[in-house]
């Protein structure tokens, strides 16, 4: 027998996944994860027996429910369903699927429309932080169509501006979790940063790369992948994330001089595949690092000398290049000596509802629910 579970298939930013009301799935974690693995068709490289798209960017889940804190409208728990392993991870946020949360919450009665634009305050459960998504709602309905374009997604859609209110150090406890702008790991200088997503920033040149390689070319370089993973495992401990062998964080971002007018170029391991674009919160972390002189990102972006200290305070708009275009981040930081405070980080995403109905999973996966 098969069990039907209500869900919505949505694109959020440059990702795609299944969106559920939290009450539609079992509350017990092991059982919930078993249901999601069956829904996605994992573990299987093609995910042929489920709705997954055979790639980390299309094997994602958003669980949405009433807010459990007073300063939010809804709770959003992001879950990464691994493609090749029977594993579901909650160790990170996803800022792309975040773009789908506001529209879904409005259409499913969790948030009331307040005008032509409806702000939705979203409690990102993974990191206990809040973001505000501004959803276009003319005539009391969510509008998905519009003229906003984001690289990595064909066509245009309605813009969803998102403000991140308190994401600095949300996973690691500090914006610079090692306490330093630059660390040396495996004889490579890196910058470890967490402004919503734990990221290790490395210069592509230190690995003999131009930073213009395609994701496929980088993934095919076994020696490179092995070394990046070795650095990631060491960085995870330094960043207070513990043993990250089976975790999806930190992300590893190779940076190189910009080629198309941006501040720098990126190629990001997420962590074992290379992103065809860049994650929302990963881009925020990289952009933040660009404003920290002496960081690996700042050196590549501006050619500053090693050993520079302090921060470039104020509001900036930074274009972060990635394999399929640009990601624009608005960021405002304040500096007092060596102390850095992120006052604001904001960006624009789009989303689209693709299908609403039931996903069918084998009843055996739901046994015990």
The answer on 206 and 99 residing in a single domain is no
In 3D space, the residue among 7, 344, 339 whose CA is nearest the CA of residue 176 turns out to be 339
CB neighbour class for 221 (10 Å; exposed up to 12, middle 13-18, buried from 19)? middle
Looking up tokens 């990464």 gives 80
For 78-92, what is each residue's pLDDT tens digit?
999 999 999 999 999
Say whether pLDDT at 40 is over 70: yes
Confidence bin at 367 (pLDDT 50/70/90)? confident
Q: Tell me the CATH number at 117.
A: 3.10.310.10
pLDDT above 90 for 304: no
Residue-wise pLDDT tens digits, 227-240: 999 999 999 999 99
The residue range of the domain holding 103 is 2-159+351-366
For 39-87, the DSSP string reads HHT-S-TT-TTSS--SSGGGSEEEEEEE-SSTT-SEEEEEEEE-SSSS-
pLDDT of residue 241: 97
Joined together, the tokens standing for residue 57 give: 């960017």
For residue 172, being part of any structural domain is answered with no
**What is residue 303's predicted lDDT score, i.e. its pLDDT?**
53
Residue 174 lies in a domain: no
Q: Does 293 score more than 90 pLDDT? A: no
What is the pLDDT at residue 337?
Answer: 64
CB atoms within 10 A of CB 90: 16
Look at residue 155 in the predicted model and tell me its pLDDT.
97
Q: Is the pLDDT of residue 307 over 60?
A: no
So what's the pLDDT on residue 338?
A: 64
| Mean pLDDT computed over 95-120 | 98
Looking at residue 306, its pLDDT comes to 41
Q: Do 131 and 275 have their domain in common?
A: no
Instruction: Answer for the pair 324, 314: CB distance below 8 angstroms, yes or no.
Output: no
On average, the pLDDT of the chain sits at 94
Instruction: Tell whether 173 is covered by a domain.
Output: no
Q: Tell whether 22 and 124 lie within a shared domain.
A: yes
Which pTM value belongs to this model? 0.87
State whether 217 and 103 are in the same domain. Answer: no
Q: Are residues 222 and 99 in the same domain?
A: no
User: Could you tell me which of 197, 196, 118, 198 has the C-alpha nearest to residue 164?
Assistant: 196
pLDDT band of 309, cuts 50, 70, 90? very low
Q: Quick check: is 177 in a domain?
A: no
Residue 333 has pLDDT above 90, yes or no: no
pLDDT at 369 over 90: no
Does the pLDDT value for residue 296 go beyond 90? yes
Same domain, 98 and 236: no
20/136 same-domain check? yes
pLDDT band at 312 (very low <50, low <70, confident <90, very high): low
193 lies in some domain: yes
Work out the percent of the chain whose per-residue pLDDT is above 90.
89
- Cβ atoms < 10 Å from Cβ of 225: 18
For residue 36 the two structure tokens come to 């999601």
* Amino acid 311: pLDDT: 58
42-74 pLDDT per residue, tens = 999 999 999 999 999 999 999 999 999 999 999
Same domain, 230 and 147: no
38 part of a folded domain: yes
Structure token digits, residue 84: 């090749």
Closest CA to 88 of 37, 164, 21: 37
Q: What pLDDT, on the 0 to 100 scale, is given for residue 186? A: 97
**pLDDT for 336 beyond 80:** no
Per-residue pLDDT reduced to its tens digit, 186-209:
999 999 999 999 999 999 999 999
How much is the pLDDT for 341? 87
Percent above pLDDT 70 for the chain: 96
Within-domain flag for 100? yes
User: What is the number of domains present in the chain?
Assistant: 2
Question: What separation in angstroms does the CA of 238 have from each of 178, 199, 291?
Answer: 6, 12, 22
Tell me, yes or no, whether 192 and 338 share the same domain. yes
Q: What is the pLDDT of residue 339?
A: 74
The reply to whether 178 falls in a domain is no
Tell me what pLDDT residue 301 has.
92
């Amino acid at each position: 027998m098969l069990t039907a579970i209500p869900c919505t298939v949505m694109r959020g930013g440059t990702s795609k996944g299944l969106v559920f009301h939290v009450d539609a799935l079992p509350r017990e974690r092991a059982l919930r994860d078993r249901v999601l693995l069956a829904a996605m068709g994992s573990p299987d490289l093609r995910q042929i027996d489920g709705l997954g798209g055979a790639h980390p960017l299309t094997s994602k889940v958003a669980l949405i429910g009433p807010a459990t804190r007073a300063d939010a409208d809804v709770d959003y728990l992001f879950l990464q369903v691994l493609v090749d392993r029977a594993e579901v991870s909650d160790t990170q946020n996803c800022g792309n699927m975040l773009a789908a949360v506001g529209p879904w919450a409005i259409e499913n009665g969790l948030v009331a429309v307040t005008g032509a634009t409806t702000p939705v305050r979203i409690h990102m459960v993974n990191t206990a932080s809040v973001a505000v998504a501004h959803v276009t709602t003319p005539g009391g309905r969510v509008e998905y169509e519009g003229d906003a374009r984001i690289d990595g997604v064909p066509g245009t859609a309605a813009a969803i501006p998102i403000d991140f209110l308190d994401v600095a150090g949300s996973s690691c406890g500090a914006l610079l979790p090692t306490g330093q702008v630059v660390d040396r790991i495996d004889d490579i200088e890196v910058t470890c940063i967490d402004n919503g997503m734990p990221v290790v920033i490395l210069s592509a040149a230190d690995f003999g790369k131009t930073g213009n390689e395609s994701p496929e070319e980088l993934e095919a370089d076994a020696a490179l992948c092995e070394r990046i993973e070795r650095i990631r495992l060491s960085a995870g401990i330094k960043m207070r994330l513990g043993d990250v062998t089976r975790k999806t964080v930190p992300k590893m971002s190779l940076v190189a001089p910009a080629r198309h007018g941006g501040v720098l170029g990126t190629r990001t391991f997420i962590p074992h595949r290379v992103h065809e674009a860049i994650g929302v919160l990963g881009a925020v972390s990289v952009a933040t690092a660009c404003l920290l002189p002496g960081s690996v990102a700042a050196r590549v972006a501006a050619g500053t000398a090693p050993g520079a200290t302090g921060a470039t305070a104020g509001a900036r708009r930074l274009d972060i290049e990635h394999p399929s275009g640009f990601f624009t981040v608005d960021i405002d930081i304040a500096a007092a000596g060596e102390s850095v405070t992120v006052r604001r980080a904001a960006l624009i995403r789009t989303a689209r509802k693709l299908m609403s109905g039931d996903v069918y999973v084998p009843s055996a996966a739901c046994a015990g629910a």
